[in-house]
Chain A
């Protein structure tokens, strides 16, 4: 550990944030849950009993086995199987990989776009500002689920297309926040000073603006991952999201929904439960971060 590293550590330890974090059960529990979820997604292929989307590994004679604890269950399939004899547990783990991938990459993309447009609008102002903010205002008056559905019906199914749709839906929040804070920071005297000594704009943006908006971005991004996972699940449930070859949790629910009325609840309930679990853990952490770092964010 370097000297400055140690210093930073000391500063972190004595900060209010650190104290509140270590004294908040919900923050610690949600962090642990998120680590578990991420771990399960990463090592998923090595620990699941089968690759649920490799048709050769499926056995139709195992179709519709109930989860363990029910009558007729096979201990090999702890959460039961679907109509193709697919292990629900494996399907859920694989599905979470798609869901998490879309949630995280989607947020990275839309925060990048949002930060770019937000800085553009807030730092340079003028025409760019009014155009960007007008579009943002208009977009905000439409529900994001509807915009996403609209975009997906043009783009067609596909992981890449879902990411594009999420990016176009989510940038507004980031852009508005970044613009607001950029405007505030731009008026600060230290930024004036930096301009007086002739620092180029890009360096002012990188050195002064971005570090200052980072906490808000972290809070927004955390919450947005949860929102995006839900949004993707909904799109996929409606058959407008990911393709059948890369099923997400939402799509598994949609498959299971068709057999719900015949009493085979486990096919749809478990994937949905795992969505709730993931999103709840993320939102708990996001909520804590928001309260601590920037309570004004919505």
Chain B
């Protein structure tokens, strides 16, 4: 299948008075059409910034640099703000974390859905737009769609509101949806429903989904492939099943081990934690960013940043354990 998205050496830096925050530091990845990609990591690892960088929604003091951001055969880097506005909400849409705040409180749901259609499907008539709105609400499982359209966001529950947000994201029949922690703000019981809904809809529509989350359980449930991020770098990537069964990077291993009831941890065993904290973004370690917290840290890790190497089919990892230098030291 063809790649819908190709990103090479994306770097998003924030220039603040204390220094430069390298929120995303030269990452490369790609997505296939209709693929569900998970982007996982602790908070502050740059996963949300990655999402916003793709549609160039980074405000100063942030700056985006890349060798290539190619979406559906178009070069997004060279596009003007005006051209980007066609893409945003058109071929690429977003779902935000908190449905409480991502909808405008003073407009009806219909107004906010209609806005999307007016902008990106100007050929539709008023009546057509209305019926499309009703249809969309039905698709995301909101009963009484006709009536609910006239309601304001505060009249919906959190889960229902997120469904509305999903409906808005689907309105323009996008080729890629970027979902930034779409279930984090929801109740656990609602989370599963919303996830299933998203999975079903992207499958039906054949659109790709980039799911940004800190929750590996969510990832294992619906994604095809995963990028694990740490301090602005992609430390490991691969097909979901294989990555979860055989994590390569010590960070991924740590993340997986810290999920209660996962894999090797049994009831009588203590839950494992990754020692230490995410380092200060102003003062990152010199070599591998994870080295200070890593149980398998070697001398070289403190000095040299590991290259990303392909270990097996589709599995890539940035760790000295798997690169030439590390292997030598091990011997």
Q: Do the two chains touch directly in the complex (Cβ atoms below 8 Å apart)?
A: yes
User: Which residues of the partner chain A approach B17 to less than 8 Å between Cβ atoms?
Assistant: 16, 19-20, 23
Chain B positions 1-59 with a Cβ under 8 Å from a chain A Cβ: 17
CA distance A16 to B17 in the complex (A): 8
CA distance A23 to B17 in the complex (A): 10
> Interface residues of B: mostly helix, strand, loop or mixed?
loop
* Closest partner residue, chain A, to B17 (CB atom): A19
Min Cβ gap A25→B in Å is 16
User: Which residues of the partner chain B approach A23 to less than 8 Å between Cβ atoms?
Assistant: 17
Chain A positions 124-154 with a Cβ under 8 Å from a chain B Cβ: none
**Total B residues in contact with A, Cβ cutoff 8 Å:** 1
Min Cβ gap A292→B in Å is 13
Chain B positions 282-330 with a Cβ under 8 Å from a chain A Cβ: none
User: Which residues of the partner chain B approach A16 to less than 8 Å between Cβ atoms?
Assistant: 17
CA distance A19 to B16 in the complex (A): 11
* Closest partner residue, chain B, to A14 (CB atom): B18
Min Cβ gap B14→A in Å is 14
User: Which residues of the partner chain B approach A20 to less than 8 Å between Cβ atoms?
Assistant: 17
CA distance A127 to B17 in the complex (A): 48
Chain A positions 249-271 with a Cβ under 8 Å from a chain B Cβ: none
CA distance A20 to B17 in the complex (A): 9
User: Which residues of the partner chain B approach A19 to less than 8 Å between Cβ atoms?
Assistant: 17
Min Cβ gap B283→A in Å is 12
Min Cβ gap A112→B in Å is 37
CA distance A167 to B17 in the complex (A): 41
CA distance A20 to B18 in the complex (A): 11
* Closest partner residue, chain B, to A20 (CB atom): B17
Min Cβ gap A265→B in Å is 47
* Closest partner residue, chain B, to A23 (CB atom): B17
Min Cβ gap A16→B in Å is 7
CA distance A123 to B123 in the complex (A): 60
* Closest partner residue, chain A, to B16 (CB atom): A16
Min Cβ gap B21→A in Å is 14
Min Cβ gap B19→A in Å is 12
CA distance A110 to B169 in the complex (A): 53
* Closest partner residue, chain B, to A16 (CB atom): B17
CA distance A19 to B17 in the complex (A): 8
CA distance A200 to B17 in the complex (A): 43
Chain A positions 2-55 with a Cβ under 8 Å from a chain B Cβ: 16, 19-20, 23
CA distance A149 to B17 in the complex (A): 48
CA distance A131 to B155 in the complex (A): 33
CA distance A2 to B17 in the complex (A): 29
Min Cβ gap A12→B in Å is 15
Min Cβ gap B90→A in Å is 35
Min Cβ gap B282→A in Å is 11
CA distance A19 to B18 in the complex (A): 9
CA distance A16 to B18 in the complex (A): 8
CA distance A16 to B16 in the complex (A): 10
CA distance A20 to B16 in the complex (A): 12
Min Cβ gap A10→B in Å is 15
A interface list, Cβ under 8 A from B: 16, 19-20, 23
4 closest residue pairs by CB, A with B: A19-B17, A16-B17, A23-B17, A20-B17
A-B contact pairs, 4 of them (CB 8 A): A16-B17, A19-B17, A20-B17, A23-B17
